[in-house]
Structure 1
Amino acid sequence: MTVTTHKPELTNITLWVMTLTTGLVVANLYYNQPLLNDMANTYHVSNGKAGQVSMLTQIGYAVGMLFIVPLADMVKRKRLMLINFAFVIAALLLTALAPNIHVLILSGFLLGATSIIPQLLIPMAAHLAKPHERGKKIGFIMSGLLIGILLSRTLSGFVGAHLGWRAMFYIAAVIMLVMWALIYFLLPEVEPDYKGTYKTLMRSLVHLFKSEPKLQLASLRGALCFACFSAFWTTLVFLLKQQFNQGSDVAGAFGLVGAFGAIAAGLMGRLSDKMDAYKLSTITLALVLVSFIIFLFSANSIAGLILGVIIMDMGVQATHISNQAIILSLNPVARNRINTIYMVSYFIGGALGTFLATRVWETYNWSGVCVIGITLSIIAIIIHVLTRKIMQRTVNIN
């Protein structure tokens, strides 16, 4: 059963608060990636073991989205965010204080599970936006999210090189406290649409997934793209150390390069309002494949890596925005649950990419990582092509 409630407007201030919060909260998931080599040295463990910190962070994010994000359809969203911030801060402090690698892996999982606030804000923006502007508004917030993802590596790499890796998580805890205040004072409250039990709510996830072919396809291709993305970023720090003898600061600096891909997010959001989503996704998936072919021949070339990063980030992020423009138009009452299904799949894919890349690195190094990226991107393209008739018959997001 649903109820009709007054809907606040998506003002410019609200949009900027959402975008800033999204970027800074999602950054928590990626601070550890340029620091994995430093963490391995601190605890005297292998790079593969340290890579579990990143993998468990992504798994934690998927778990948090599965069990927490759907609550936004049945409880007040602003209140849910404010409570969640307290747990994010606690997880950051536990990470900074971790006495051994096992506690660090656990804290990574908890940090991932609690940093799900962006996945409450994006459906909220879709809910508040006017239908003809939905893609543009989602694209704007996604630009903030993607810049947060990429520049988080730049920031943590710099802080790790000059202050030590633990300092980054103390700084992040202070940032989260500031963001709590911004949400408290500036974000409007949105009343829930769903009236039912949590058990029924969770069961409805299965029904939504089974009944929406667009959601199934978007989830699968999103998972495969993010697996490629995570495989690259997790092992880049190992490559830079091995081939160029560079540390976390240089690995983090690649986030600045990747930010060029995030700039494309706003453009793709606008295109998704006007262009056929299937055709747009065909182009963006091809970019991911091209990027890993470039990476394969760039193990000794910084210029090649830079070019590949720009192309990969454009492909992955634009595919992600195209996917979200499709799924968030499906069922207004169930947007948080639909987004949950998609993002859980997305980060399971990311965890898979991290797992495969760190395992392959131990034996095949960079060539093995590139083969993983090429293989997964080809699979994504094949699935995309095979579902063309279904998607072109059902896609209608305008």
Structure 2
Amino acid sequence: MTHSAAPFHADRDATAMRVDLFDFDLPADRIASRPADPRDSARLLRVTADGGLEDRAVADLPSVLSPGDVLVLNDTRVIPARLFARVGQARVEVMLHRRVGPDAWWAFARPAKKVRPGTDLLFAEGFTGACAEKGEGGEVLVRFDRAGAALTAALEDHGHVPLPPYIKRPDDQADRETYQTVFARADGAVAAPTAGLHFTERLFAALDERGVRRVTVTLHVGAGTFLPVKAEDTDEHRMHVEDGEISAAAAQAICEARAGGGRVVAVGTTSLRILESAAAPDGTLGAFSGGTDLFITPGYRFRAVDRLVTNFHLPKSTLFMLVSAFSGLRTMQAAYAHAIAGGYRFYSYGDACLLDGRPRERCD
């Protein structure tokens, strides 16, 4: 079956929790500003189902995965989504976060007070847009003067790589390659699916030899995914909708792997979220196309994913809440304390974890 294109909203079993439970102290020197080179030389902290910790490298993945397991990778491609516009004599940053038409994007504007419905935005000579609508929290709907491939080309020419704000440097030409997975295909993300940044063709060859299958799904990562939660209670936080797709072939391959005893290994929280959005209560997967604002906190019952490869996340972020739901808050607090003490590198260009989850129901 193919789910409708209406945004998926979670039917969660989780209860409201205080956001400050997910806070922790992180020394500034643990934040990576450049990726490991080569990519698969990044460190990997394995967190076992019983809370055990093993220090490894990403290149060790073939030895800790089993024949018949299936890796699920997000093949979204990051676009140069950070723009600067002239509004009269003012300079405004426009950070695209969700495409809603061939010529229209929702974006975060700073300073937002400079942009109102009808405001013209000059991005470059001959490349303009206008604010069509204003939303909450500095959001604006930008309608560009071109659409489709022409807009994509203009963004490539005039946009900047949307590095997260905790990377305290301007983007450069190297980021156009390193802030992109080697398997990126579908234009539309404004933030990288960062766990996928560690994979190389060499690593894929070793995984193939091991008998680990892989499939791709698509979730266009929005800027809101990585923002710290400012509410005091998790029930007060609103997730931004992100659009994605799971093909019927990918869903079938995942179910076949599970039916054969293999585990579903999501590469990144984005892959996990679209799988969980598409899964039926019994874990069965079908084709999916549409949006999701699934917000996973402790108490959520996972349906589709057995293991998770993910980077180290921000304090009080929805992503740290997600990994705490997957492996347990105390387990992840201990894992992060171990990583900080052991010199692991954090966030988008940092090192990775492999989290073992509880056994799930099999697809029939």
Normalization by structure 1: what TM-score?
0.24
Judging by fraction of residues, say which structure has more strand: 2
Normalization by structure 2: what TM-score?
0.26
Judging by fraction of residues, say which structure has more helix: 1
